[in-house]
Amino acid sequence: MTNDVKCLKLATKQWGVIRRDQALKWLSPQQLQRRLDGGAWVSVMPCVYRVEGAPPSWMQDLKAIALWAGRGFAFSHQTAAALHGFRRYPEGPKVVSVSRHLAAPSNVTLVRVKKLKSTDVEVVKGLKATKVMRTLVDLAAVAPQKDVRAASDEALSRQWITVDDFATAVGKVESARGIAFLRTLVGEYQGGDGPCESELESVLFELLDAAELPRPVRQRVVKSGGRVRRTDFLFEDYGVVVEADSFAYHSSPTAFEKDRERYNSLTARNFRVLQWTWKAIQERPDELLSELAAVLASRVSWKHRQAKIS
């Protein structure tokens, strides 16, 4: 095996990049420089190079940063969220938390921390990144609250963390930007609000939350037709349910039948059910909110009537 092949074999395992000291195990400094001068290898970070034939990618960028940083670091904030697969955090930003002094290249955002606890870090896709709960705490300090809520909901609904995990982690943070909002979320979850289970539900809740209307509870179960039914958003004092009607979740024959069964059962129990689609939320949100406001106004005596029926 030639020295070039040895370098390429290692680089293949590292998303197409290799660090200077790794390459010098098989190449002389002069041979390395010739590859750089000839354009076969390209410098992508200080002392880190992309080898010939390796196409650029976000994961390659992150691996190059990892090789450059070496130790005492973890990808965090938006980058960790993207690595974990949070819906609202696509590949792009390059944020690194470091516990030692480093001079950051222009394409890297460094966040200096006193210490990176081993309990806060794990390997994700071959890279050191903050764990889901630590990532949520970090996001709360820099991201809009609506996105932090959506990420928290997603982490819970996908069972990456539990409400108890959430409460314990937030309770350990004495003071940090955004921690008060996370404590608010914990209170909501412990009070019975369930997490939104899809991006459509998250967007729908943001629309409702921003409107000057009573606030609904999320993922609340109600007894109807002798069975327990879970609602997306329930206005408890009005008997009004707003459902996120997604084709992705209701397109199979079984899902279609269950959805209609639930709708009919709730309607028979005198609940008013509104089904909102992604297209409607995007194209006519004001119209939907006006319809909801009119329905709520017409249902002010619902709770009193239900009390008599029960």
The pLDDT tens digits for 177-226 are 899 999 999 999 988 888 988 899 999 999 999 998 999 999 888 776 66
Q: What percent of the chain has pLDDT over 70?
A: 90
Residue 250 has a pLDDT of 47
Asked whether 97 and 74 are in contact (CB, 8 A), the reply is yes
Asked whether 166 and 156 are in contact (CB, 8 A), the reply is yes
Strands (E), 9-68: 17-19, 42-45, 48-50
Burial class (CB within 10 angstroms; exposed 0-12, middle 13-18, buried 19+) of 204: buried
Position of tokens 């070039």?
4
Residue 187 has a pLDDT of 92
Residue 102 has a pLDDT of 83
307 pLDDT higher than 60: no
Residue 255 has a pLDDT of 53
pLDDT interval class at 252 (50, 70, 90): very low
Tell how far CA 233 is from the center of its chain.
21
Asked whether 151 and 105 are in contact (CB, 8 A), the reply is no
Asked whether 19 and 67 are in contact (CB, 8 A), the reply is yes
| Structure tokens given for 80 | 């960790």
Of the two residues 146 and 173, the one the predictor is more confident about is: 146
Residue 162 has a pLDDT of 94
260 pLDDT higher than 50: yes
Residue 270 has a pLDDT of 83
Return the CATH architecture of domain 199-309: 3-Layer(aba) Sandwich (3.40)
Mean pLDDT of the chain: 89
Asked whether 36 and 43 are in contact (CB, 8 A), the reply is yes
Residue 233: beta bridge partners? 218, 242
> Which of 61-75, 115-129, 249-263 has the lowest average pLDDT?
249-263
SS3 266: helix
Amino acid 188 reads E
- Domain residues of the chain, as ranges? 3-57, 60-137, 139-190, 199-309
The tens digit of pLDDT for each residue in 23-57 reads 999 999 999 999 999 999 999 999 999 999 999 99
The tens digit of pLDDT for each residue in 268-301 reads 788 899 999 999 999 999 999 999 999 999 887 6
Of the two residues 26 and 230, the one the predictor is more confident about is: 26
| Structure tokens given for 276 | 């909102």
> Alpha helices, DSSP H only, in 217-284?
247-250, 253-268, 278-283
Q: What is the mean pLDDT of residues 162-166?
A: 93
Q: CA 73, 186, 259, 292: dihedral to nearest 10 degrees?
A: -120
